[in-house]
Chain A
Amino acid sequence: MKIKKLLTTYIPVLLIVLFAIGPYFWTFLSSITPEKDLYTVDFRFFPTHPTFNNYTRLFTKIHFARNIMDSLIVAVSTALIGLLITIPASYSFSRFRFKGRNIMLMQFLGINMFPIMLLIIPLFIIMKNLHLMDTHFALIIAYSTMAIPFSIWMLTSFFNSIPKELDQAALIDGCSNIQAMIRVTIPIALPGIVSTGIYIFITGWNEFLYAAILTNSAVRTIPVALQNMIGEYQIEWGLLTAGGIVSALPVIILFFFIQRHLISGMTAGAVKG
Chain B
Amino acid sequence: MKKIGLVLLCLVIAGTTFAKGASEPEGAQNVTFWYHFDDPETALNPLIEKFEVENPGITINAERVAWDVYNQKLLTSVAGGNPPDVAQVKLWWQPQLVEMKALLPLDSYIAAWDGKDDVFDKIWDLTKYSDGNQYYMPLQMVILYLYYRVDMFEELGLEVPKTREEFLKAAKALTRDTDGDGNIDVYGFGIRGARGGHDWWGTFVLSSGAKFFDANGNSGLTTPEAIAANQWYIDLYRVHGVSPPTTPADGFKEIIANMISGRTAMTIHHLGSSTKLEEALGDKISAAPVPRGTEGYWTSFGDEENAIFAVSDVPDAAFKWTSFLATAENNAVWQKSSGQVSVNKSNATAGGNRFLKATTDSADFAGVLPANPGTAEFVESLWPALMQQAFLGEITSKDMMQAIADHFAK
Contact = CB atoms under 8 A, between A and B. Distances in A.
B20 A218 contact: yes
A62 B82 CA distance: 27
Contact of B81 (A38, A70, A125, A219): A125
Given A73-B15, A219-B17, A258-B4, A212 B67 contact: no
Interface string A113-132: 00000001100110010011
Nearest to B72: A213
Interface stretch (B32-40, B163-171, B284-292): B32-40
A41 B19 contact: no
B288 to A, nearest CB: 20
B257 A39 contact: yes
A39 B261 contact: yes
B24 to A, nearest CB: 14
Interface string A47-66: 00000000001000110000
A149 B20 CA distance: 29
A236 B62 CA distance: 21
A40 to B, nearest CB: 6
Given A80-B9, A213-B73, A227-B68, A234 B15 contact: no
A230 B15 contact: no
A131 B4 contact: no
Interface stretch (A12-20, A91-99, A100-108, A133-141): A133-141
B40 A229 contact: yes
Contacts of B41: 57, 61-62
A39 B258 contact: yes
Given A73-B11, A73-B15, A232-B38, A121 B76 contact: yes
Interface in B257-308: 257-258, 260-263, 269-270, 272-273, 276, 279-280
A36 B277 CA distance: 9
Nearest to A131: B19
Nearest to B80: A124
Given A135-B18, A136-B16, A257-B4, A128 B252 contact: no
Given A124-B76, A136-B17, A213 B272 contact: no
Contacts, number: 133
A69 interface: yes
A261 interface: yes
B410 interface: no
B17 A36 contact: no
B40 to A, nearest CB: 5
Most buried by B among A121, A234, A261: A234
Contacts of A171: none
Contact of B11 (A40, A72, A132, A137): A72
Contact of B79 (A36, A77, A121, A261): A121
B40 A76 contact: no
A228 B34 CA distance: 13
Interface in A196-245: 209, 212-213, 216-219, 224, 227-237, 239
A239 B41 CA distance: 10
Nearest to B272: A233
B69 A73 contact: no
B68 A261 contact: no
B15 A136 contact: yes
B38 A233 contact: yes
A133 B22 CA distance: 12
Contacts of B76: 120-121, 124, 213
A216 B82 contact: no
Interface string A133-164: 11111001000000000000000000000000
B249 interface: no
Contacts of B9: 76, 80
B66 A228 contact: yes
B63 interface: yes
Contacts of B272: 233-234
B77 interface: yes
Nearest to A233: B272
Contact of B19 (A61, A137, A230): A137
Given A41-B261, A76-B11, A132-B19, A227 B66 contact: yes
A257 B253 CA distance: 39
Nearest to A261: B1
Nearest to B257: A39
Nearest to A264: B1
B273 A234 contact: yes
Given A232-B67, A233-B272, 5 more contacts: A40-B261, A132-B19, A136-B16, A212-B66, A233-B252
25 contacts: A38-B257, A39-B263, A40-B261, A72-B11, A72-B12, A73-B11, A76-B11, A121-B76, A121-B80, A124-B76, A124-B77, A135-B20, A137-B16, A137-B18, A212-B65, A213-B69, A230-B68, A231-B36, A231-B38, A231-B40, A231-B67, A232-B36, A233-B252, A233-B273, A236-B38
